[in-house]
Structure 1
Amino acid sequence: MTKYAMVIDLHRCTGCGACAITCKIENNVPRGFRWADYIHETKGEFPNVTYTYIPTLCNHCDHAPCVEVCPTDPKAMYKTEHGLTLHDSKECIGCRQCEDACPYGVVYFNSEKAHEFWRDGKAQEVVNKISKENDVIPPYYNPNRARTYAGIRPPDIVEKCTFCDHLIIEGKLPYCVEQCPSGARYFGDKEDENDLVNQMLKEYMSKRLKEYKGTEPNVYYIRDYNKNA
């Protein structure tokens, strides 16, 4: 059985933020929050300065608190047979219990209609004109993303990273992995001995965020963000 996981090599990561940008592009993530984010910290005084940069996203935990507390039946937040933690926007009642339960702060509540920029003033005129003349979808709508999730975000529900499940079902990589300019991200089946993810975890010591929480995250970090790692 395939068990999806992501490995992030902090030694290769340049801290460019391309993961956060490409995630927004592919998944139409509105302003105000990021499915792909990062933690960064600078310590010391020049020239003795250390810098820590850790890209973050949903960890797709084996024991996901967000799934455990979801009160709907069927659950709006649920686990797939391949280990993904996904969200059904049609079942979500906006109670935000999953947001409170997530120890990583990667579940977000969408309190407004998405993409305000495209619904405002001249931008809306452009959208209406394009749609009318060419019979095309609005520029903030991704039909591929809509195959497994809401194409245009409805308000008053939660949302989060899906590991780009709409790309995985086509045999493709999550977009943040595909577009990482330094090749710092690996995605695959950690149960397959021939998979690169499995090989990377065997070659390097790895760590996961807040392992003490017992959530068993499926995002692993190898090496460190410094020249000696």
Structure 2
Amino acid sequence: MSYPMRLAKYLSHCGVCSRRQASRLIDSARVTVNGRLANHIDHINLTDCIMVDGEPVTPPKARRLFVYHKPVGIDCKVNPDDPASIYHVLPESCRVYPIGRLDKDSRGLLLLTNDGALCQQLIHPDHHQEKEYEVQVDKPLDPDFCLKMAAGVPVKGQITLPCTVEQIAHDRFRIVLRQGLNRQIRRMAHYCGYRVIDLYRVRIANLALTQLEVNSAEVKEISAELIQLT
């Protein structure tokens, strides 16, 4: 992380909010730099005192990124009182949180970070980062299944965005999403008359489980420079 840094970018790196939200905070006169109202052109150094709504902003810690091959049965909610929570497998060396979620019945690639900006870039709908899944359903696929799924179907009052869907076995398909609605793939398949019995995330952006060589239920630190965002 290099300094000096533009103020909005700095607030994002500190995990305060996204850069767009930071610009709104600055416009609303809610941010100060060394005791004066902030400007969009301000460039920040580590010695500067930044405050939002009168509260000091903690300088960003070194960016860290972990990959986790989540098994079925682990809940992505960080809850120390739940024996099934991901809390109990998080690295003790730093405070990180999952980027997006996989539901308890799903498995595969999960990213964990302490970098709020990276989290925003991966999960915010404006960025449309790819996520790839291999899915098994409860019966053989109809010939038009992939076309229907790829074109978009109703989920939670909206039509899902067009996506890539490819049949890989009589009851399995591969799907690449740039959207992240709650339980989206399961809801899409249900609309088409199928029940998902195995959902396996194999890739996020350019990071794939095969290249990361991470075993099931393993948490592994990787260089944050490995991830390439579109």
Q: Which has the higher contact order (CA 8 A, sep 6+)?
A: 1
TM-score (norm 2): 0.20
Mark the structure with the bigger radius of gyration: 2
TM-score (norm 1): 0.20
Give 1 or 2: higher strand fraction: 2
Give 1 or 2: higher helix fraction: 1
